[in-house]
Amino acid sequence: MARLARSIPLLGAVALAAAISAPALGQGFDLRSLFGFGTSPSSPATTGTVSPPPGATPAAPEWSGEPGSSGHPEMTAEAIRAAAANFGGCIAALWPLAERRGIPREVFDANLAGLTPDLRIMDLMDAQPEFTKSIWDYLDILVSDARIENGRAILAQHRASFDAMEKAYGVDRHYVAAIWGVESNYSTQIGDRSVIRSTATLACIGRRQDFFREEFLSALEILARGDVRPEHLKGSWAGAFGPTQFMPTSFKKYAVDADGDGRRDVVDSVPDLIASTANNLKKDGWVTGQTWGYEVVVPQGFDFLLADRSRALTMREWEKAGIRRAGGKAFARPAALASEASGQRGNSIVRAHSASKDARERADDTRPEPGSSARDDKAFLLVPAGVQGPGFLMLQNFRVIMKYNPAEAYAMAIGYLADRLRGGDPFVQPWPRHERVLTRAERYELQQHLAARGFDVGEPDGRLGGRSRNALRQFQSSVGAVPDGFASGAVLERLRAR
């Protein structure tokens, strides 16, 4: 599902104090909406079952007429206008491709006759908003008391569907519910743009036409097959739809008909939605019976150069290095986690189901050996707030969540919300809430300073990914500072002074 985020850098990374490692648009989840940035207006409950009152939703803003900030030749104002003028011709030229896929002419005409491009998408595609939220603010927003309460209600309401999903796929229900909660706030913020119009626009105009041509044709296939009703195929400006925000190509790959009605309806069928989301996770290498990660206490004097996603050690090895689970708890798998959680919940223990052979082959070396214990599980150490904040040992399922949306902060929010839905406690250790998050301009400046001193940050862009953090660690180590990779104001001042 999160293939969009890995394929196109539509959004800049959120400035989460070095927690984000990639653009944060997965199944259409637009982080700008969390922090009050300009995004397309959307109405709650856009599943087709509830309509806003007449006049309640303002008209979408028009294209600004400005060129895209990417500098791509297809994103100049002139190129956008020229492509828009030929929109009808472009659509007509796509018919042979649709025909080869078995899409009936009547379906093609019914959905495209008189269609006009949504040029406002051109502004959204190249938007570079100034994110200044910290990872702790981000988690506060996404793992709120209200979201936890609503998620538990969803789990209770649809218990039978979650039971069937766990039996079929071996994916812990709390993670599926957490994705549902984070992606659309449990179906209340899905998006109201026509997926056909959005993908058709992007297939004919702008800098990623080849990519979106496939999404457009896949969306037509969904309608031709009758999986989702045309009036319900609505979502984000990039074409992601449904409560867990499938891109059309991801829908084709992962969607399943769990309720047996002959349609794979991830918009209006809860069984299909839950099973399809679980199937996505399973096929991406989900490890049944394993958690996502643990909050840990990092001891004083620890070598933070070990905090690297490429360095996976067993829990036993991390314990030898002085790492301990926060709260004095033992490293445990979900069955034990459920029993240790406050507020026991019946049926919350995941059934053990063996992963399929193809999933095993795709998994990396953090997958546990058969018959091993939690202390044999492999994990990497993540310190999103540096030495001042909590540490986390991240397991294989954290990596799977990042395939759904490749942002560390997103995956942390999913794992943390899943734990809270299960009845788990809040994080034990405090965040450095006194720290000011660097602005995009300051992050860009920090990268420039590092590059000028010979540290490899790649092309400076104001996004603090893994490469920039490694460079920052190397700089910190070279000046005798704790190499935690945390981009603080103090580090920037030190770079300016040298």
**CATH assignment of the domain containing 176:** 1.10.530.10
31 and 42 co-located in one domain: no
Q: Which of 386, 410, 432 is the last residue of a domain?
A: 432
CB 323 within 8 A of CB 299: yes
Q: Which two tokens stand for residue 102?
A: 């078995």
Helix, strand, or coil (residue 11): coil
Whole-number Å distance between alpha carbons of 365 and 168: 25
206 and 286 co-located in one domain: no
448 and 476 co-located in one domain: yes
Identify whether 197 is part of a domain.
yes
Residue 156: enclosing H or E segment and its boundaries? helix 145-157
Q: Which two tokens stand for residue 336?
A: 């034990």
User: 50 vs 53, 188, 189, 220, 269, CA distance in Å?
Assistant: 9, 10, 12, 24, 15
Angle at 53 between CA 49 and CA 57, to 5 degrees: 100
365 and 472 co-located in one domain: no
CB 255 within 8 A of CB 264: yes
**Eight-state DSSP code of residue 392:** E
Side chain identity at 260, as an amino acid letter?
G
CB 445 within 8 A of CB 492: yes
pLDDT of res. 464: 87
286 and 165 co-located in one domain: yes
Side chain identity at 241, as an amino acid letter?
F
What is the DSSP secondary-structure string of 13-78?
PP-STT---S---SSS--GGGGTT-------S-TTTT--PPTT-SPPPPPP-SPPPTT--GGGSHH
β strands within 158-307, DSSP E: 193-194, 234-235, 293-297
Identify whether 245 is part of a domain.
no
344 and 293 co-located in one domain: yes
Helix, strand, or coil (residue 393): strand
Nearest to residue 246, comparing CAs of 277, 201, 274, 268? 277
Identify whether 261 is part of a domain.
no
Angle 440-452/489-497 helices, nearest 10 degrees? 40
Identify whether 256 is part of a domain.
no
Domain that holds residue 469: 440-497
pLDDT of res. 29: 37
Q: Which of 201, 235, 269 is the last residue of a domain?
A: 235
Angle at 241 between CA 206 and CA 347, to 5 degrees: 145
| Whole-number CA gyration radius for the chain | 23
pLDDT of res. 126: 86
Nearest to residue 45, comparing CAs of 146, 190, 182? 190
β strands within 357-461, DSSP E: 378-382, 391-394
392 and 323 co-located in one domain: yes
**Eight-state DSSP code of residue 305:** G
Helix, strand, or coil (residue 382): strand
Identify whether 297 is part of a domain.
yes
Identify whether 240 is part of a domain.
no
Identify whether 266 is part of a domain.
no
Q: 297 φ, ψ to 5°?
A: -100, 120
Which residue reads 């491009």 in tokens?
117
Counted domains in the chain? 3
117 and 1 co-located in one domain: no
Whole-number Å distance between alpha carbons of 393 and 374: 12
Identify whether 353 is part of a domain.
yes
Burial track 158-191 (b if 16+ CB lie within 10 A, e otherwise): beebbebbbeebbbbbbbbbbbbbbbbbbbbbbb
Q: Which of 432, 459, 479 is the last residue of a domain?
A: 432
44 and 165 co-located in one domain: no
Contacts for 189 with CB less than 8 Å, ≥ 6 apart: 33, 42, 44
Whole-number Å distance between alpha carbons of 146 and 188: 13
Q: Which two tokens stand for residue 239?
A: 């074409």
346 and 419 co-located in one domain: yes
pLDDT of res. 374: 83
Whole-number Å distance between alpha carbons of 140 and 132: 14
175 and 210 co-located in one domain: no
Q: Spell out the per-residue pLDDT of the chain, length 498, in tens.
A: 444 443 333 322 233 333 333 333 333 333 333 333 333 333 333 222 223 334 444 455 689 999 998 889 999 999 999 999 999 999 999 999 999 999 999 999 999 999 999 999 999 998 766 566 899 999 999 999 999 999 999 999 999 999 999 999 999 999 999 999 999 999 999 999 999 999 999 999 999 999 999 999 999 999 999 999 999 999 999 999 999 999 999 999 999 999 999 999 999 999 999 999 999 999 999 999 999 999 999 999 999 999 988 899 999 999 999 999 999 999 988 765 555 544 433 333 333 333 333 433 333 445 566 656 888 999 999 999 999 999 999 999 999 999 999 889 999 999 999 999 999 999 999 999 999 889 989 999 999 999 999 999 999 988 888 899 999 999 999 999 999 999 999 999 999 997
Q: How far apart are the first and last CA of the chain?
A: 45
pLDDT of res. 15: 31
Nearest to residue 298, comparing CAs of 411, 416, 388? 388
Q: Which two tokens stand for residue 489?
A: 């104001």
287 and 299 co-located in one domain: yes
